[in-house]
Each structure stands twice: as structure tokens, then as C-alpha cells.
């Protein structure tokens, strides 16, 4: 058994902390993002900050880097000196660098300028030293072992290259503590290994690294200690010595998961969706895919493997160049997603914030948007009464916790927002439901609820395509798992007959 090596960070040897936080809390409006957090980092150590999405990791990083100020009563020390009230500029002076999860790059600027933007900072006017910036950027990219055109606009780079630029930017400064928030999310194995080498090198130079990653194997491999947060609260700090992935998952989620895979599919019945030889240049090639009614097919692979592009083609928003899409045996010709919706296809976007919902607008309007045609009265005008009825019905059926249906969607938690997304699509009575990373930004308890709904929909005979880069998610929730790499479907697994590790190995290799 693992008991925390120091559930109260003060308990263990009071080594010379580089960073010492206690009683750090942060509220946004009515949401308690951080609640009495303790967090300590020693010079030169590699520490993992672990927790599910929305547990407060990013808020904690922003608080340490001066973007947010903590609520009164917090203790924040740097090298034993009080560091409360710092701003981002001061945090950088202290030597705190962050590789942000959203990268926080400047898309219109060149790679070199993004990496060496450090040199442009400061409140005094100063000349820009282009040559020096380029040289410095080239040097750091070299040490990372990557080759990116220094003059390319960042907007034109692939996601993986953007991530490397963000990493390079954080490493260029004289850092003493580097936060890495999901730095490997879209990197290849080779690039990840180069990064891990760098982390070890930094550590050897006495630079501390706080590593945030949902790839637990990676975490256990490079970190000496792990601090776990859950729902904005401090859970504990543990040595990684002898720690297992499942134990860490349990600490992060706060419950014992008796995950069971779905039973092996029986494999009879005509397919609801058939895809044959679907190809779109530079995105995906020769895709063959069948989904039967009542079947949940998982699709996994690394970021940028072409999963979302394929989904958008099935949803009529990206025209394939070759191949066929058949729904219930009938070929579909779609010029827009309206054709797809009419045919009975629904698509839950991976990007709930900017594509899935109109965040600023009312919950009621976000549910009604897909079925406006059904809300017309005899005069052809929208009937508020019908809309109210429809909305109340779906809020009840999906058990969404809302104050008023007139509140903006943005006032809801991630899990409830995702239920609104499901509601708006289920209202169209789809025959094929495509779920693209449906649990991004949804906390653990709410995830289970969403998958309960999905399983029920499958039981009612809906065909479901579940896309996710969280391998366990597809493993435990799909009947079959397809692995996509570089635009091709390369492997197929039946979770009931396969070990999870085997699939993870295949995906991250």
C-alpha cells in the first residue's frame, strides 16, 4: 500500500524548497478552482503534478506564474522569500517558465521570434536583435534535436511543431523552474524521448521541472515525486518509487475503478454505416469502416492522425476525394453537414468551447438550434411554447443540472455542457452518432455519466463512433477499437480479447 510520504508537506525534511505554496485558493465567480492547495518543489527535482482535467492544475500553474493572484491567506515562497503579489514579468525574472497547455504562441510571428520572444520583453525601448534571436532559437532547436524552419510563421506549422516551439521558448530563458503542461500531447515517440532527455539534463543542471501529463507511464518514468490534485483540492504528494499506474489513477479520480470492457460483439446484422476506400489528400487514406446498429466503435490514435478530419467527412463538412459513405446501404452524397443531419448523422465536436456550443448564448437556444424546423407554428413562426417544451424534455431526459434554461451555456460545468451537446444532437434523432473526444474538460464523475448515456443509446440501436486519444476511454467504452496512424486505419482490437497495455503500446510506439 502507498501512504502519502507526506500528506502534509511540512512533515518531511524541511529541505531548501525552491517553491513553497500553502493554503493557496482561487475562486472564479462561483467556482472554487483551487481549495487550500499545498505544493512544494525542490531545486533540480522532476515533480509530477497529476490530476484529471479540471482538477486545478492549470489554475495552479497560472497562480505560480503570476497570471492569477491567489485569494488572501495564501503562503507563496520562492527560495524562502515571500513571492505573493508577483506579476508574470516578475515571475519570469525569478526564473519561472511555463510551457502552456494551449501553447500561448503568437501565430503570426516567425518561429525564431516566438522562441526568442524573451528578448523582446521589458518595459524599456530596445532594439530588436534579429540575428541574435535567430542564433539563439537555432541553438535551442538543435539541442532539442528538431529541425524547424526558423522563418516559418507559427500558424503554418503542424501541431507537433508548434508544441516544440513552445518547449523551445520555455527552455531559452534562464529558468530555475519549468512547468510543462501536457508537453508531449502531440509529439512522436522520438520527439518525446528527446524532451525527456532534456528534462533530465535540466534536472542535472539544478533546474526543477514540474511535469503535467496524462500519460502516466511517462510520468512514473521521469518523475521522482508526484503531487495529486482532485477537484481543486490537494490529495497528497507521493514518491514514484513503486507507484503503479492504477494506483495513481485511483488517487486522481478518488475511486477504485472496476473498469470492465464491453462484451465482445456478436458481429451479425447489416452495418448502419459503411465506409469504403475513403480518401482525402493529406488527411486520411483508404478508410474502410463498418458500424452496426447498437455497436460502439472506438477510434484512437495520436493527435494529428486524421481522426477528426475523417469524422468531419462523415459529417459532410469535408468532402472526400475518393471513396463511398453508405448509411443503411444507401450511398450518401453530402455537400454540407445539413445533408448529414438530414440523413441521420450527428457529430459531437472535440472542441466544445468553440465548435460544440455557442457558449455565450442560452442553454435553451443551444438545444433548439438543430431542430428549428420542428418548432414552427402554423404561421411559420418559431413557437416559444414548443421550444420551452422541447428544452424541458431534454433537460429532464439527460438529467442536466441547470439553473434556468435562459442562462448562458458557459455558466455550466464541463459535464453538463456536454450533456447539452448530446441533447441538441439527440433531438435530431440520429442513426449514427459520432463522438469526438467527448470527455475533454469533463470531470471524472461526469464522464461516467456521459458514457452511461452513450451505452444506453447503443442499447437502443444507435450506431456510435467514439473518437478519443485517451486509449483507456475507448478501451473501456467501445466494442471494437480502431487504431489510426498517419491517416490510415492500421489495426483493430477487440477490448474483450486484448490487454489495455497492448493497445497503448501500439498507439504510442
Partner 1 sequence: MRKFLPRLGSTELWLIAVIAVICGGLALTTDTFLTLVNLLDLLNYSAVNVIFAAGLLVVLVAGGIDISFAVAASVVQYLVATTLLSLGGGGWVLGFALSIGFGALLGAFNAALIHHFRIISIVVTIATFNLFFGLLMFFTDGVSIYNLPDWLVERVVLFEHETANGWAELTLPVAVMAVVVLATWLLLRRLNLGRQLFAMGDNPEAARRLGIGIAKMHYLAYGWLGACAGIAGLMQMHYAQEVVPNALYGRELDVLAAVVLGGARLGGGRGTLLGAVLGLALIAITQNGLNLLGISPYAFRMIVGAIILIAICMSGETLDVLRTRLARRRAAPRQEVLS
Partner 2 sequence: MSPSVISRLMNPAGSKSPAAGELAGMGIVLGVLVVSFSLLSDRFLTGATFDSIAFQLPELGLLALAMLIPLLSGGLNLAITFSANFSALVMAWVVGWLGGPEAGMSGILLGMLAALLSGALIGWALGAIVAYTGAHPILASLAMMIFLRGLGEFLTRGGSVSGFPDALVGLGQGTWLGIPVPLLVFAACAALWALILNRTRLGFSIYMLGSNTEATRYSGISTRRALTLVYVLSGVMCAVAGIIMTSRFNSVRVGHGEAYLLITVLACFLGRVDPFGGFGRVAPVVMALIILQVISSGLNLLGTNQHLATALWGGILIAVMVVRYLWGRLRDRRRRRR
Question: Which chain residues interact with partner 2 by CB under 8 A?
Answer: 27-31, 33, 59, 317, 336-338, 341, 347, 349, 353-362, 365, 368-370, 372-373, 376, 380-382, 406-408, 410-411, 424, 428
Regarding 396 and contact with partner 1 (CB under 8 A), the answer is no
Q: How far apart are CA 164 and CA 148, in angstroms?
A: 9
Regarding 100 and contact with partner 1 (CB under 8 A), the answer is yes
- Return the number of the residue (38 or 168) whose C-beta is nearest partner 1: 168
- Return the number of the residue (248 or 390) whose C-beta is nearest partner 2: 390
Closest approach of partner 1 to the CB of residue 293, in Å: 23
Q: Which does 408 bind (CB under 5 to 8 A by kind): partner 2, partner 1, none?
A: partner 2
Regarding 66 and contact with partner 1 (CB under 8 A), the answer is yes
Q: Are 196 and 222 in contact (CB under 8 A)?
A: yes
Sign of torsion over alpha carbons 316, 322, 326, 331: positive
Q: Are 414 and 425 in contact (CB under 8 A)?
A: no
Q: How are strands ordered across the β-sheet holding 432-436?
A: 345-348, 432-436, 463-467, 296-300, 480-485, 488-493
Q: Three-class SS of residue 390? A: helix
What does the block give as the cell for 115? Answer: 522562441
Closest approach of partner 1 to the CB of residue 438, in Å: 26
Regarding 321 and contact with partner 1 (CB under 8 A), the answer is yes
Q: Please identify which residue in 20, 26, 119, 419 interacts with partner 1, judged by CB under 8 A.
A: 119
Nearest to 245 by CA among 212, 210, 221, 209: 221
User: Hey, which residues between 149 and 178 contact partner 1 (CB under 8 A)?
Assistant: 151
What does the block give as the cell for 361? Answer: 448564448
Closest approach of partner 1 to the CB of residue 126, in Å: 5
Q: Which does 174 bind (CB under 5 to 8 A by kind): partner 2, partner 1, none?
A: none
Q: Which does 105 bind (CB under 5 to 8 A by kind): partner 2, partner 1, none?
A: partner 1
- Return the number of the residue (139 or 339) whose C-beta is nearest partner 2: 339
Closest approach of partner 2 to the CB of residue 120, in Å: 25
Q: Are 68 and 27 in contact (CB under 8 A)?
A: no
Q: How far apart are CA 4 and CA 113, in angstroms?
A: 44
Regarding 285 and contact with partner 1 (CB under 8 A), the answer is no
CA distances from 163 to 58, 71, 160, 167 (A): 17, 32, 5, 6
Q: Please identify which residue in 7, 8, 120, 158 interacts with partner 1, judged by CB under 8 A.
A: 120
Q: How far apart are CA 29 and CA 31, in angstroms?
A: 6
Q: How far apart are CA 436 and CA 413, in angstroms?
A: 18
Regarding 84 and contact with partner 1 (CB under 8 A), the answer is no
Regarding 104 and contact with partner 1 (CB under 8 A), the answer is yes
What does the block give as the cell for 288? Answer: 474502410
Q: Are 466 and 457 in contact (CB under 8 A)?
A: no
- Return the number of the residue (219 or 368) whose C-beta is nearest partner 2: 368
Q: Which does 401 bind (CB under 5 to 8 A by kind): partner 2, partner 1, none?
A: none
Show the DSSP H helices in 436-481 as ranges.
444-459, 471-477
Q: Which does 196 bind (CB under 5 to 8 A by kind): partner 2, partner 1, none?
A: none
Q: Please identify which residue in 10, 14, 85, 107 interacts with partner 1, judged by CB under 8 A.
A: 107
Element (H, E) at 115: helix 111-115
Q: Are 484 and 297 in contact (CB under 8 A)?
A: no
Q: How far apart are CA 148 and CA 137, in angstroms?
A: 10
Closest approach of partner 1 to the CB of residue 345, in Å: 15
Regarding 62 and contact with partner 1 (CB under 8 A), the answer is yes
Regarding 372 and contact with partner 1 (CB under 8 A), the answer is no
Q: Please identify which residue in 11, 82, 108, 221 interacts with partner 1, judged by CB under 8 A.
A: 108
Q: Are 425 and 347 in contact (CB under 8 A)?
A: yes
Residues that bind partner 1 (CB under 8 A): 62, 65-67, 87-92, 98, 100, 104-109, 113, 117, 119-123, 125-128, 151, 277, 280-281, 319-325, 331-333
Amino acid at each position: 500500500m502507498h501512504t502519502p510520504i507526506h500528506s502534509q508537506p511540512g512533515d518531511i525534511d524541511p529541505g531548501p524548497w525552491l517553491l513553497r505554496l500553502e493554503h493557496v485558493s482561487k475562486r472564479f465567480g462561483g467556482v472554487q478552482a483551487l481549495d487550500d492547495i499545498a505544493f512544494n518543489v525542490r531545486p533540480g527535482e522532476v515533480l509530477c503534478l497529476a490530476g484529471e482535467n479540471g482538477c486545478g492544475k492549470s489554475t495552479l500553474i497560472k497562480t505560480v506564474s503570476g497570471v492569477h493572484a491567489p485569494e488572501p491567506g495564501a503562503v507563496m515562497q520562492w527560495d524562502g522569500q515571500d513571492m505573493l503579489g508577483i506579476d508574470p514579468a516578475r515571475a519570469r525574472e525569478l526564473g519561472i517558465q511555463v510551457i502552456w497547455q494551449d501553447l500561448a504562441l503568437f501565430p503570426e510571428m516567425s518561429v525564431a521570434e516566438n522562441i526568442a520572444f524573451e528578448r523582446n520583453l521589458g518595459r524599456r525601448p530596445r532594439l530588436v536583435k534579429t540575428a541574435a534571436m535567430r542564433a539563439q532559437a537555432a541553438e535551442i532547436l538543435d539541442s532539442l534535436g528538431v529541425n524547424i524552419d526558423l522563418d516559418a510563421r507559427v500558424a503554418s506549422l503542424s501541431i507537433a511543431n508548434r508544441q516544440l516551439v513552445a518547449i523551445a521558448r520555455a527552455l531559452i530563458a534562464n529558468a530555475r523552474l519549468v512547468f510543462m503542461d501536457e508537453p508531449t500531447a502531440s509529439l512522436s515517440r522520438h520527439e518525446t524521448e528527446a524532451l525527456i532527455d532534456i528534462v533530465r539534463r535540466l534536472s542535472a543542471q539544478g533546474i526543477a521541472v514540474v511535469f503535467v501529463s496524462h500519460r502516466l507511464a511517462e510520468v512514473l518514468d521521469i518523475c521522482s515525486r508526484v503531487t495529486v490534485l482532485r477537484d481543486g483540492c490537494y490529495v497528497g504528494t507521493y514518491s514514484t518509487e513503486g507507484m503503479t499506474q492504477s494506483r495513481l489513477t485511483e488517487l486522481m479520480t478518488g475511486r477504485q475503478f472496476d473498469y470492465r470492457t464491453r462484451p465482445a460483439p456478436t458481429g451479425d446484422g447489416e452495418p448502419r454505416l459503411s465506409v469504403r476506400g475513403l480518401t482525402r489528400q493529406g488527411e486520411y487514406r483508404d478508410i474502410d469502416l463498418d458500424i452496426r446498429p447498437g455497436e460502439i466503435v472506438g477510434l484512437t490514435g495520436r493527435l494529428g492522425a486524421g481522426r477528426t478530419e475523417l469524422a468531419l467527412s462523415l459529417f459532410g463538412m469535408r468532402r472526400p476525394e475518393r471513396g463511398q459513405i453508405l448509411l443503411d446501404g444507401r450511398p450518401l452524397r453530402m455537400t454540407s453537414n445539413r445533408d448529414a443531419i438530414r440523413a441521420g448523422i450527428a457529430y459531437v465536436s472535440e472542441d466544445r468551447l468553440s465548435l460544440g456550443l455557442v457558449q455565450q448564448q442560452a442553454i435553451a437556444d443551444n438545444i433548439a438550434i438543430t431542430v428549428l424546423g420542428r418548432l414552427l407554428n402554423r404561421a411559420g413562426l418559431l413557437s416559444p411554447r414548443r421550444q420551452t417544451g422541447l428544452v424541458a424534455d431534454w433537460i429532464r431526459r439527460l438529467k442536466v443540472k441547470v439553473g434556468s434554461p435562459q442562462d448562458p451555456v458557459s455558466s455550466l460545468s464541463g459535464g453538463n455542457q456536454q450533456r447539452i451537446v448530446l441533447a441538441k444532437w439527440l433531438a435530431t434523432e440520429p442513426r449514427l452518432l459520432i463522438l469526438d473526444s467527448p470527455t475533454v474538460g469533463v470531470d471524472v464523475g461526469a464522464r461516467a455519466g456521459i458514457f452511461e448515456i452513450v451505452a444506453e443509446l447503443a442499447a437502443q440501436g444507435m450506431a456510435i463512433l467514439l473518437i478519443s486519444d485517451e486509449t483507456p476511454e475507448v478501451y473501456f467504452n467501445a466494442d471494437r477499437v480502431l487504431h489510426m496512424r498517419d491517416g490510415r486505419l492500421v489495426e483493430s482490437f477487440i477490448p474483450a480479447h486484448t490487454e489495455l497495455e497492448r493497445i497503448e503500446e501500439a498507439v504510442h510506439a
